Chain A
Amino acid sequence: MIDTSQLILPDDLRYGEDHEWARLEGDKVRVGISDYAQQQLGDITFVELPNVGDSFEKGQQFGAVESTKAVSDLFMPIGGEILEVNQAIRETPELVNQAPYGGGWMILVKPTRVDEFDELMTKDAYRDMVGRTE
């Protein structure tokens, strides 16, 4: 049981149902997992990331994040092509715990449809969703 009011959820991000976040950066979208997701997983020990150039649709699995507790699939909050993956978290997966919205980002995407970004949840809607599942 967690106190959802204590979750760090930046204003400028949008959130997906599978606990990924998305940040619009010009015409690109950066993606990671939320503070809630990293807390639930516990210490992250390994992140499996896609190759640059791969394309996925919204909702498709693009990788997996592994913690001392479990392995969880990572899903695209928005469809598009992988432009960059965060090499740093391959070497230092604990960055995802330490800075889920910063150094722990996962992929940079060139979206197929930018309007998919607007369909994602705001932080308040996401906080409500987490509150309902807790």
Chain B
Amino acid sequence: MPQGKRTPLYDWHVAHGATMTGFAGWDMPVWYPTGAVAEHRTVITNAGLFDTSHMCAVSISGPDAFDLLQLCVTKDLNACVGATKRPLQPGDGVFGAYLNERGELIDDTILYMIAQGAYLSVVNAGHGREIAEHLKANRGGRDARVEEISHKVGKIDLQGPLSAKVLKKVLNDPLTVLSDIQYFGFKGYFEEQQQPSDVRLIDGTPIMLSRTGFTGEFGFEILVSRDRLLSVWENILPAGQDQGLIACGLAARDSLRAGGMLPLSHQDMGSWPFINNPWTFVLPFDDEGKSFTKKFVGDVVLAERERAEHTYAFVGYDPRKVSGKGLSVVIDSGGNEIGVVLTCVSDMAIGLSSGRIFSISSPDKPRDFKPGGLSCGFVRVRTALAIGQEVELRDSRRTIKVRIVDDVRPDRTARRPIHDMLRDKEELK
């Protein structure tokens, strides 16, 4: 295997016994000696720290930056935040996608509004340049500057229900920072020449703290200047010892996100029409769900609804998996091959009891509950399926029976109010 690119934490990962793997051109930790199952479960019960510095960041700024993004990002940026669908404002992040002219995915993104006329789009590893080029190609006469800044940014994800308690120990003035941070909200900035940061670690390091993540659990993505990445990592990890914080690799990230119903770009969504999938909430549907509230690159996808294939989540009956990435087929009850498996992993924090899925964090789980694990993931099929319907997944080795579902791991914490996640509520007053 050719040597991949290395994040500033590469030496740390190797020194701490990580098993490394190639991912999107990077050498990344897949798990540490703790093991992927323990890492997965720790994020659900405690907290885990992930190196996600292989991801890319694109800065979009200028008087017409908003117009350019409104043209290229699927979400209607005038109506996308919270239940009231208010416009994007400084301090807001939003999950959206970039589509091409055919309505097929180029990449997904979390788009942050840093200030008036200043935005940051975090996209997947290896896709920064492509997104920057896509934005420039659609810029026309707009006054907007587009710059890939991946090389300047490091990113660490702190995920799990005890994440806020870990942050309390490392942040300067933590209660001011944490007390009102909403799901998909962010504070601070990582690079002060452009934007003074109101979030710092105790040692003074400016950070951008975003209440987002890719696990389905409560937590944060922390953006820092790339040259401060190692120091921030080594600051947070020991601080979280009392909370059981451990370093986690890409295997746990993959199984957590699949159980959390989150798509992996270029695997669960890709070069096919972005419609008829569990993530169409990123499209700017009107209240009736029939048309879009704006014009944007890729809006032709609306016309594909009748003929496009369907993507569904599934869950199995035990942890046995089949191959993903299109290497397994989906078979309906009539024995017809109807599609392919996009992702198939095992969520080792869940299990079935009396026909219902429980998680190790379910408050009402049976007393003797043991999380034996369930396979889960996403399939893409030619015919519409009903929630609850059974299909078979088959690869060269085995056939497994699974159920089409609209949710996998129960009792996830991602959206829990921040107040619930800090034990001593009076500290927030």
Contacts and interface: CB of A to CB of B under 8 A. Distances in A.
A66 interface: yes
A5 interface: no
A46 B319 contact: yes
Interface in B37-58: 37-38
A43 B35 contact: yes
9 contacts: A42-B36, A43-B31, A46-B320, A64-B397, A68-B255, A68-B346, A71-B321, A91-B370, A94-B37
Given A42-B19, A42-B30, A66-B319, 6 more contacts: A42-B31, A42-B36, A45-B37, A46-B346, A66-B321, A69-B36
A64 B19 CA distance: 22
Interface in B365-417: 370, 373, 397-398
A69 B251 contact: yes
Interface string A90-134: 010010010000000000000000000000000000000000000
Given A68-B251, A71-B397, A42 B320 contact: no
Interface of A: 42-43, 45-46, 48, 64, 66, 68-69, 71, 91, 94, 97
Contacts of A43: 31, 35-38, 348
Contacts of B318: 46
Contacts of A45: 37, 319, 346, 348, 373
B291 to A, nearest CB: 43
A42 B397 contact: no
Contacts of B31: 42-43, 68
B36 A66 contact: no
Nearest to B395: A71
Of A43, A46, A66, A94, most B-chain CB atoms within 10 Å: A43
A94 B346 CA distance: 14
Contacts of B251: 42, 68-69
A7 B120 CA distance: 47
A118 B38 CA distance: 39
Given A43-B36, A43-B37, A97-B35, A68 B348 contact: yes
A75 to B, nearest CB: 14
The 5 closest A-B pairs by CB, nearest first: A68-B36, A43-B37, A43-B35, A45-B319, A46-B319
B253 to A, nearest CB: 11
A79 B318 CA distance: 30
A37 to B, nearest CB: 14
A71 B393 CA distance: 15
Interface string B1-37: 0000000000000000001000000000011000111
Q: Which of A45, A46, A64, A66 has the most CB of B within 10 A?
A: A45
A68 B19 CA distance: 13
Contacts of A71: 320-321, 397-398
Contacts of A69: 30, 36, 251
A48 B31 CA distance: 24
Contacts of A97: 35
Contacts of A94: 37
Interface in B188-233: none
Contacts of B319: 45-46, 66
Nearest to B348: A45
Nearest to B254: A68
Which residue, of B35, B38, B370, has the highest number of chain A Cβ atoms within 10 A? B35
A46 B345 CA distance: 13
Given A66-B321, A68-B348, A42 B35 contact: yes
Contacts of A68: 31, 36-37, 251, 255, 345-346, 348
Nearest to A73: B397
A46 B373 CA distance: 9
A42 B254 CA distance: 15
A68 B39 CA distance: 11
A91 B370 CA distance: 9
Interface string B346-376: 1010000000000000000000001001000
Contacts of B320: 46, 48, 66, 71
A68 B324 CA distance: 13
Nearest to B373: A45
Contacts of A42: 19, 30-31, 35-36, 251
A94 B251 CA distance: 17
